Amino acid sequence: MLQFDVVTLFPAMFDAVTEQGVTGRARSRGLYQLVAWNPRDFAGNVHRTVDDRPYGGGPGMVMLVEPLRRSLNAACQRQCGQGVAKPRVLHLSPQGRVLDHRLVLELSREQGLVLLAGRYEGVDERLFGHQVLDHAVEEISIGDYVLSGGELAAMVLMDAVVRQLPGALGDAGSAAQDSFVDGLLDHPHFTRPETYEGMVVPPELMSGNHAVITRWRLKQALGRTWQRRPDLLERRKLSVEEQQLLDEYRRELEGVR
């Protein structure tokens, strides 16, 4: 079972992941466990202070190093108690390495992840200083924009990782068929009715011929990626068949214009 520990001032936010949908079911099936640690419970004074004004001035507050250090070390110790050999500690922050499908897959194969969701303007940098924490910290961003705190980013990461755990998705093939698995965007999807406002379902999908359907889907995935995310195609060498399908897609597009 994958062990998640999260250090957060807002543990209740994580109910959205643990109680709902695919990630809620995965938790009830025992595919992962999540324990939240609130730095307030590790604060050194009666006011349970966890932040203070930044040295050098400026807006907002900075999270104190000591309550975070204690929370993170408690989280790591719990993981070790659960048999996690080396918990991977991830600090969610816009300064981090950007999360992508490859990293999600890598994380889904770990035994334990400790997530640090900071609030306010940031955390005291000395938290990451030499030997302050029992384990090294990696910074992870979910994109080039700023959230009010790391909680939503941690939940995004958890959702993406949990859906990769064997048994998380009802249909076993589902995660393998997602966008990005193949370095491509997803193909379009259709369901009933067959005709809607004069628009029909592509005949290939109605053909009942598995090879025709697979070929159509790959062609659409290639075409959409070429149109919307050419950067993804630059990173991926196309096979001869894929190049032919993409050329076909482009010719068909020209025909429509």
Q: Which residues are catalytic?
A: 94, 121, 163, 178
55 binds ligand ADE (CB under 6 A): no
**d(Cα 69, Cα 89) in Å, to the nearest integer?**
12
Q: Where are the alpha helices (DSSP H) in the chain?
A: 15-19, 21-28, 65-81, 101-108, 151-162, 203-206, 210-228, 230-234, 240-256
Q: Which residue among 63, 116, 153, 162 contacts ligand ADE (CB under 6 A)?
A: 153
Looking only at the bridges linking them, the beta strands covering 199-200 and 51-52 are unpaired
Q: Which residue among 43, 113, 142, 162 contacts ligand ADE (CB under 6 A)?
A: 142
Contact 117, 7 (CB under 8 A): yes
60 binds ligand ADE (CB under 6 A): no
Q: Nearer Cβ to ligand ADE, position 55 or 145?
A: 145
**d(Cα 18, Cα 35) in Å, to the nearest integer?**
10
Q: What is the DSSP letter of 64?
A: -
3-class secondary structure, 98: strand
Q: Nearer Cβ to ligand ADE, position 16 or 147?
A: 147
Q: Which stretch binds ligand ADE (CB under 6 A): 14-22, 59-67, 143-151, 188-196?
A: 143-151
Q: Which residue is nearest to ligand ADE (CB)?
A: 153
Q: Cβ neighbours of residue 251 under 8 Å, at least 6 residues apart?
A: none
- Bridge partners of 98, per DSSP, are 141
- Kindly state the greatest CA–CA separation across the chain: 73
Binding mask 87-126 for ligand ADE (x = CB under 6 A): -----xxx--------------------------------
Q: Nearer Cβ to ligand ADE, position 8 or 18?
A: 8
145 binds ligand ADE (CB under 6 A): yes
Q: Nearer Cβ to ligand ADE, position 118 or 223?
A: 118
Q: Which residue among 150, 168, 226, 249 contacts ligand ADE (CB under 6 A)?
A: 150
Q: Which stretch binds ligand ADE (CB under 6 A): 49-57, 141-149, 197-205, 234-242?
A: 141-149
Looking only at the bridges linking them, the beta strands covering 195-196 and 199-200 are antiparallel
Residues that bind ligand ADE (CB under 6 A): 92-94, 141-143, 145-147, 150, 153
